[in-house]
């Protein structure tokens, strides 16, 4: 019985110390070009920002906002805003991979390059990436991320890819 008590105490200690390495939240900013794949590829420069709250050491809720600008035939500007669950794997030393499924909306300028509408449209994103810890404190990390965006407009879905590279700041500890 004494061995069982020690095993339970050791497991509780390991769980508490492991949970302390989980940040309470993450804030990230990134350079995020958006590639719209509609007939021919439209390349748009852009930036994105995200905020994630970590419920526990593997599950969190994320919000992602992006702004993009390009010149397919004429000037085209777009924004995306999506929210949803994020699953994170935290058992590696300096690498923290994650996967997410985000849902929300988008807004693009007037019809240009195969994208219609100037109003708000439904958008979803499926993707993931990884954070590579910078420095010993692990407060900052380099983020590499790839996302598939489906932009729903006028009854059809326009596929798009976004590849991002940026910096992450980890806030607090769980």
- Is the domain spanning 2-171 CATH 3.40.50.620? The answer is no
pLDDT at 132: 94
Residues constituting the chain: 174
pLDDT tens digits, 117-129: 456 788 999 999 9
Q: What is the pLDDT of residue 20?
A: 54
Q: Which two tokens stand for residue 13?
A: 């200690």
Determine the pLDDT at residue 153. 77
pTM for the structure as a whole: 0.80
Q: What is the pLDDT of residue 174?
A: 79
Rounded distance, CA 110 to CA 53, Å? 35
Q: What ranges do the domains of the chain cover? A: 2-171
Distance CA 121, CA 107 (A): 6
Residue 130: how many other CB atoms lie within 10 Å: 16
Q: Where are the alpha helices (DSSP H) in the chain?
A: 2-19
Return the pLDDT at 100: 97
The residue ranges of the chain whose pLDDT is under 70 are 1-20, 73, 110-119
Going by C-beta distance under 8 Å and a sequence separation of 6 or more, which residues neighbour residue 116? Answer: 153, 154
> Which of 96, 78, 75 is CA-nearest to residue 87?
96
């Amino acid at each position: 019985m004494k061995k069982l008590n020690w095993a339970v105490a050791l497991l509780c200690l390991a769980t508490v110390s492991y949970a302390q390495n989980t940040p309470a939240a993450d804030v990230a900013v990134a350079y995020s070009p958006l590639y719209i794949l509609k007939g021919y590829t439209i390349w748009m420069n852009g930036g994105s920002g995200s905020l994630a709250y970590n419920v526990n050491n593997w599950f969190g809720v994320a919000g992602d906002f992006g702004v993009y600008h390009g010149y397919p035939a004429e000037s085209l500007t777009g924004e995306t805003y999506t929210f949803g669950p994020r699953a994170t794997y935290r058992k590696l030393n300096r690498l923290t991979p994650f996967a997410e499924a985000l849902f929300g909306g988008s807004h693009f300028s007037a019809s240009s390059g195969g994208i219609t509408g100037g109003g708000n449209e439904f958008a979803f994103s499926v993707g993931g990436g990884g954070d590579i810890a910078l420095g010993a404190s692990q407060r900052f990390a380099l983020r590499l991320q790839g996302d598939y965006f489906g932009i729903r407009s006028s009854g059809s879905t326009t596929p798009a890819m976004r590849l991002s590279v940026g910096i992450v700041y980890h806030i607090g500890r769980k």
